[in-house]
Amino acid sequence: MSSSEKITRRAFAALAAAAAGASALPAAAHASSRAVHRRLIKPPRLRFGDTIALVAPGGHTDDEAIRRAVHKIGQLGFRVREGAHLRAVHGNYAGSVQQRCDDLHAMFRDPDVKAIWCIRGGSGCISLLSSLNYRLIRAHPKILIGYSDITALHLAIHRHAALVTFHGPVAGSGPSDYTNTHMLAVLMEPQPTYTIPMALENAVRALAGTPYAADFRGALLFLEEVNEAPYRIDRWMTQLDLAVGLRRAAAVMVGICENCVPNDGETSLTLAETLDIHLKALVVPAVSGYSFGHIRHQFTLPMGIMARLDTLRQTVTLLEPAVT
């Protein structure tokens, strides 16, 4: 989740999707884990007709992207409340640190808002982490969803507010039946277990330091990136390994890393060769090509709950509800 230079601008998604103590199960076909720390809070479930806040905690957006996101949320059956600074621009960012924090705090505080959906990732979320009011967030638990740079928020809130948040699509991404189906099931339908299969288009591709960083010991660690050369991914995975130790995870899942290829004419390992260096030596289950990342068909992964990876069936099963 977030490796390079502590946390990258896209937050090289090192997300712990469960918690401590559990280890890989027999035959390395399954792995499960769960979060430790203080008692984890689950946000209330989402219901059709609820109000979803639209915020931009990272990169700036524009009116057309906002229009599309508002339409998408409406089509899914929800109402929209726009952040006061949703259209703010400060360099590459969606307003100043104060403006972006104010929008997040306001939406967590607003009793009418039942979920907070980030319109995009981009960059800049790391700058918010030391300014967020984690007591406020914990006192008003609600769904926070997004991916890419939003991963920095997931990590910090998981660690300092002990709130389950959701690594899933951003509101500005293109709709996909697969993405919407699994997102809504996780957010709206608390179930004792829920199995998420690979998207069909991805199934054929599957292969066997700050105070906000992920502690993925005994957890299902998932990683993804986009538009980065293999040597950079090698460096980030090396940093993760040195900082915590990949072998200490219950299992490692790598998603779809779109356009992570060497530059033209560059002598380089491929992405697959780079991943092999880090994953083949592990004694815990390790897979790549799973249906998450900067892709159209992605599943939503709650942070902190019990989960199981089945490498044979190419599924992830949530072993408890992620919402109440």
Which two three-digit tokens encode residue 43? 């946000």
User: Distance between CA atoms of 156 and 135, rounded to whole angstroms?
Assistant: 12
Nearest one of 111, 60, 59 to 81, comparing CA atoms: 111
Q: Mention every residue, 6+ apart, whose C-beta is less than 8 A from residue 238.
A: 278
Positions marked catalytic? 148, 224, 294
Buried-state track 193-216, b at ≥16 Cβ within 10 A, e below 16: ebebbbbeebeeebeeeeebbbbb
Buried b (16+ CB within 10 A) or exposed e, 84-109: ebbebeeeebbbebebbbbbbbbbbe
Closest Cα partner for 24 from 203, 287, 238, 241?
Answer: 287
As a whole number of angstroms, the distance between CA 160 and CA 101 comes to: 16
Backbone region of residue 14 per phi and psi (left: phi > 0; alpha: psi in -120 to 50; beta: other values): beta
